[in-house]
Structure 1
Amino acid sequence: MADISIAAVAAGFGLLILLMSLGLHVAFVMFILSLLGAVMYLGWPVAFEYGTQYWSANNNFVLVSVPLFILLGELLVRGGFTDKMYRALSDWLSPLPGGLLHSNIGASALFAAVSGSSVATAATIGTVALPAFKQRGYNARLVLGTIAAGATLGILIPPSINMIIYGAMTNTSVGKLYAAGVVPGLLLTALFMAVIVVVCLWKPAYAGAKEAPSPLRDKLIRLLDLIPPVTVIVFVMGSIYAGWATPTESAALGVVVSLALCAGYGRLNIKMLHESFLTTLSITAMIMLIAAAAFYLNFVLGMMGVPDMLTKFVTGLKASPGQIILVLTILYLILGCFLDALAMVVGTIPIVFPIVVALGIDPVWFGIFLVIMAELALITPPVGMNLYVVQGVRGEGNIIDVIYGVMPFLLIMLVLVALIWFFPAIVMWLPGSIGN
C-alpha cells in the first residue's frame, strides 16, 4: 500500500475534474492520471496492469448488456415505432392541462423503458415531438424543457446503461438497481406532469389553443401502436423481475423480440440493420473505453489504499449520513455544470462509493441517488448534453430557450432527491419485495 496523503488525493481528484471540464476525452484523462499515480506510488509492474484491467472490463458479463440495450433502442427507433407511440399517447394525455406537453413526458418515460439512454430518448422524442408543436401556439421554452427534462428518465427508468456501469464498478446487483429505479422513475414522471399542470393553470396561454379530441374509436385503434414497445418492456423487465433472466440475458431477449416485431411489421431490412449496427458499435466503443479506464482507475486507487484512507478520514469527522449526502448533492450539482453525466459517475465512484458504504448507506439506494444526480447533469448548463441534443434537433433559435425551459424540472428533481432521502422506501421497497 502506498504512502499517500489526503492532500495528494484531493489534488489528483481536482486535476481529474479540471482536465475533464476542459474537454479532454474522459477515458484518456482517467487512464493518464491512473498511470501517473501507479508509476509515482506503486511502480511500473502495477502500471502495466492496464491490459489486464482493460480485458476484465470488456470481458465483464454484466457490461455485455450495454451494446444489446443500445441495439434494442436503435431497432425500435429505426423500425418507426416511436412516431406511432407518441401519437397514441397524445390521444389520452392531451386533455390534461398542458395538452401535448404531457405527451413529451409520457413518451419519454415509455421510450426510456426500452432504450436505457437519455441522449437517445432526447433525440428520438425531440424529432417526433417538435413538428407536432409547430403552429399550435405553445410556449417554445416550455416545450423544449419538457423534451430535455423528460429525456432524463432514460437513465432512471430501467433498463439504464448508467445503472449497468454502476453495478459493474461496485459489484451491486443490476437487477436490484433496476427494481429500485421503477418507483422513483414513475414518481418523477408524475412530478414532471404536475409541473406542467401548475404552469399551464398559472399561464394558460403556454398550453396553446384547445384542440378537439379525436373520436373514441380512433383513440382505441391507435392504442394498438403501443403494443410493440409494451411487448419489449414486458419481455425485458418481466424476465428480470420474475427471476428468469439476468439483465444481460434479458437484453438479448429484448433484441430478439425487437427483431421479430420489426419483421412482423415489415420494417426489417438490410439497410436498417446496417445503420442500427453502426450506431450501436460507435456508442458501445465510446462507453466501453470509458468503462475500461474507470476499472483501471478503480484498481490503482485500491492498490494505493485511497478508499480505506478516505473512509477513515470521513468517519473521523463524525459526519452523519445525511450531511454527507447533502455535501455530495452540492458536489454533483457543481460537477454537473462542467462534466458529462457518465464521466461524472465513473470519475467519482472510486472515491465516493467506499465512503458511503462505510457510513451504512445502502449501495442500491446510493446507485439511484447517483443516477438522479447524473440526470441533473444532463440538463444543467453549460454542458448538459440533453440541452444541446434538443437544440440540435430544433435547428433554430438559441439554446438559452432550452435552458430556461428545463429550470422548473431541474428544481423538481432536487425535490425527488429530498423525497428519497426522507422516504427511502420509495427506492428500496420494490427490490426488497422481489428478493434476490
Structure 2
Amino acid sequence: MEVLSGMGIFLMLLVMFLGMGVWVFAGLFMVAIGAMVLVTDMPITQVGTILRTVTWRSASAWELSAIPLFIWMGEIIFRTDISDRLFRGLSPMVQWLPGRLLHTNVLGCTLFAAISGSTSATTATVGRITTDALAERKYDNSLAVGSLAGAGSLGLLIPPSIVMIIYGVLAEVSIAKLFIAGILPGLLIAFVYSVYIMIRCVANPALAPKSEGRVNWRDVLQGLSDLMPIFILIGLVLGSIYSGIATPSEAAAVGVAATILLVAAMGKLRLQVLIDAGFRAVSTSAMVCTILVAAAVLSSAIGYAHIPQELVKLIESLHLSPYVLLMMLAVFYLVLGCFLDGISIIVMTLPITLPLIVQAGFDPIWYGVFLVLMCELATMTPPVGFNLFILQSLTGQPISRVAMAAFPFFLLMVLVVILISVFPQIVLFMTAFV
C-alpha cells in the first residue's frame, strides 16, 4: 500500500540518520529533505523553497520565546539558595506523615516543577539537596532514589512546562489551556506517590528512621517562611497568565524578572550567577528550538506525502475502537521512550498521531497531557532515561539499580495514565475556567 511504502521510507531514513549518531535536528532535516525528494518526487528547487518558508515560519513563532526565559529562570534558581530552602521549608511539614522526609522528594519536585518547566532541572536541583540529606539520616536508599526519579518527571507536566509549550506550538492549541490541564494530573501523581511511600513505610517502619524531635508551630512558620519565595514565583507566573495580564510567553519574562528581584532581595544576586545561568539557558534553548524547527520541516514533508490522511483512512478501515487505538499508541510510546527523550518523541510522532487521535474523538488538549505523561514515563526507562542518568551521577549507583528503584513509581504513573484515560475530566475539568 502507498501509505505503508511512504512510511517505510520515512522510518528507514530516520533510523539510518539517527543510527549514525547525527544530531537530532540535523537528522530530522535530512529525513524531511530526503523523503520529499523520494516520496513526492518534488524537484530540489521546490524542496528548497518549502524548507526556507517552513524554517522561517516555525523559528519566528512568538510562543517559542517562553522557552529560553523559563529555562533561564530555572537555572538562576538552581544556582541560588532558593532551591536549598525547599528542603528546609518542607521538612517540618512532613514529620507527621509515615515516611517523613521521603515526602520532601515528592513535594519538593512538585513545587520546583511549578517554577522550572524542566524535568532534568527539577530532578537535578531537588536531588542535589535531598539525596545526601536522606542518606545521612539512614532513609531507605531505594525508596529515596525511586521517589526522586518518579517525582522529578513532574517538571514536564506541572506548568509552566517547556514540553507543553512545544506541544501547543506544534498542535496549534491553547498553551494556557494545556498549562491548566496539567495541574490536576500532576497533583494526582504527587498524591499517588506520597500514598505509596506511606503504605511502604507503615508496612516496614525501618524504611524511614524515627523523627529527630517534635515539630512545633515555630518550626512550621519558619518552614513557610523558607517556602515563601517559591510560592511568590508560582503565584506571579501562573497568576499573570490566568488573570489575563500576560500570555504564557510574557509570563516567562515576568518569572525571570521576579526571580532576579527575589534573589537580589535575599542578597544572593551575583553577576557570575546570571552569566552562568544565561550561558546554560542559551545552550539548552538552542538545542530545543533547532529540534522544533527541524520537526516543523519534517511535519510539512509528511503532510506533502499525504501520509497522515492516508494513515487515518487505513486505521479507520481496521475498525479499531478509540481505546484500542490509544492502547496501541501507549505501547508505541513506551517503546520509543526506551531510546528517545520526550521532546524528540513529540516532535517526531505528533504529525502522524494527532490526526488519528482527533479522528478517534479524543480532545487534543487531553491528548497533550496524555503525551506528556508518556514522555514522563520515558524519563524513567533505560537505556535512555534522563532522570536515571541524573540520579546515577548524583548517587554513584549503577544505572540498573537506579532503574529498579524507579520501577514501582513507573507503574504508579502508568496507573495514573489509565485513570485519566477512563476519566478524561481529570484533565479537562479546569480548562473550562480558561
Shorter-chain-normalised TM-score: which range?
over 0.9
Amino acid at match of 1:400: S
Please say if residues 4 and 304 of structure 1, whose CA atoms lie closer than 8 Å, have aligned partners that are also in contact.
no
> Which among 12, 29, 40 is matched to residue 31 of structure 1?
29
Residue-by-residue CA offset, 1:282-301 (whole Å, 9 max, x unaligned)? 10011011101101101111
Residue-by-residue CA offset, 1:54-82 (whole Å, 9 max, x unaligned)? 22222111111000110111122223101
Please say if residues 137 and 209 of structure 1, whose CA atoms lie closer than 8 Å, have aligned partners that are also in contact.
no
1:361 aligns with 2:359: no
Moved more, 113-122 or 310-319: 310-319
Work out the CA distance in 1 between the residues paired with 2:173 and 2:378.
23
| Percent identity over paired residues | 38
Structure-1 residue corresponding to 2:14: 16
Work out the CA distance in 2 between the residues paired with 1:419 and 1:156.
16
Work out the CA distance in 2 between the residues paired with 1:57 and 1:110.
32
Work out the CA distance in 2 between the residues paired with 1:154 and 1:232.
15
1:295-374 correspondence runs (5 A): 295-374=296-375
Please say if residues 20 and 339 of structure 1, whose CA atoms lie closer than 8 Å, have aligned partners that are also in contact.
no
Work out the CA distance in 1 between the residues paired with 2:229 and 2:316.
50
Work out the CA distance in 2 between the residues paired with 1:130 and 1:213.
23
1:200 aligns with 2:198: no
Work out the CA distance in 1 between the residues paired with 2:143 and 2:8.
40
Structure 1 residue matching 2:136: 3-state secondary structure: coil
Work out the CA distance in 1 between the residues paired with 2:200 and 2:164.
32
The verdict on how the C-alpha distance between 1:371 and 1:252 changes in structure 2, with shifts beyond 3 A counting, is: same
The verdict on how the C-alpha distance between 1:244 and 1:339 changes in structure 2, with shifts beyond 3 A counting, is: same
The verdict on how the C-alpha distance between 1:171 and 1:220 changes in structure 2, with shifts beyond 3 A counting, is: same
1:430 aligns with 2:430: yes
Structure-1 residue corresponding to 2:394: 393
Structure 1 residue matching 2:158: 3-state secondary structure: coil
Amino acid at match of 1:59: S
Work out the CA distance in 2 between the residues paired with 1:164 and 1:46.
30
Structure 1's unaligned 5+ residue stretches are none
Shift of residue 22, structure 1, vs aligned partner: 6.7
Structure-1 residue corresponding to 2:231: 230
Moved more, 303-312 or 284-293: 303-312
Please say if residues 93 and 223 of structure 2, whose CA atoms lie closer than 8 Å, have aligned partners that are also in contact.
no
Residue-by-residue CA offset, 1:130-162 (whole Å, 9 max, x unaligned)? 121133222211111111111100011011011
1:104-253 correspondence runs (5 A): 104-253=105-254
Work out the CA distance in 2 between the residues paired with 1:108 and 1:21.
34
Residue-by-residue CA offset, 1:204-258 (whole Å, 9 max, x unaligned)? 2222343223443133123111111111111111121222221001111111111
Instruction: Provide the TM-score with structure 1 as the length reference.
Output: 0.95
The verdict on how the C-alpha distance between 1:17 and 1:177 changes in structure 2, with shifts beyond 3 A counting, is: farther
The verdict on how the C-alpha distance between 1:90 and 1:46 changes in structure 2, with shifts beyond 3 A counting, is: farther
Please say if residues 135 and 141 of structure 2, whose CA atoms lie closer than 8 Å, have aligned partners that are also in contact.
no
Work out the CA distance in 2 between the residues paired with 1:140 and 1:415.
24
The verdict on how the C-alpha distance between 1:338 and 1:401 changes in structure 2, with shifts beyond 3 A counting, is: same
Amino acid at match of 1:94: Q
Moved more, 115-124 or 313-322: 313-322
Residue-by-residue CA offset, 1:24-72 (whole Å, 9 max, x unaligned)? 4221221111110112222313421323322222211111100011011
Amino acid at match of 1:137: K
Residue-by-residue CA offset, 1:376-396 (whole Å, 9 max, x unaligned)? 0000112111000111122x2
Work out the CA distance in 1 between the residues paired with 2:212 and 2:377.
33
Amino acid at match of 2:120: V
Shift of residue 102, structure 1, vs aligned partner: 0.4
Shift of residue 329, structure 1, vs aligned partner: 0.8
Amino acid at match of 1:123: A
Moved more, 366-375 or 401-410: 401-410
1:37-116 correspondence runs (5 A): 37-40=35-38, 41=40, 42-48=42-48, 49-116=50-117
Moved more, 176-185 or 238-247: 238-247
Residue-by-residue CA offset, 1:382-415 (whole Å, 9 max, x unaligned)? 2111000111122x23222211111111001111
1:1-12 correspondence runs (5 A): 4-12=2-10
Moved more, 32-41 or 151-160: 32-41
Shift of residue 15, structure 1, vs aligned partner: 4.8
Amino acid at match of 1:31: F
The verdict on how the C-alpha distance between 1:180 and 1:32 changes in structure 2, with shifts beyond 3 A counting, is: same
The verdict on how the C-alpha distance between 1:30 and 1:144 changes in structure 2, with shifts beyond 3 A counting, is: same
Amino acid at match of 1:37: A
The verdict on how the C-alpha distance between 1:141 and 1:24 changes in structure 2, with shifts beyond 3 A counting, is: farther
Structure 2's unaligned 5+ residue stretches are none
Structure 1 residue matching 2:182: 3-state secondary structure: helix
Instruction: Provide the TM-score with structure 2 as the length reference.
Output: 0.96
Shift of residue 433, structure 1, vs aligned partner: 2.5
Please say if residues 240 and 246 of structure 2, whose CA atoms lie closer than 8 Å, have aligned partners that are also in contact.
yes
Moved more, 31-40 or 107-116: 31-40
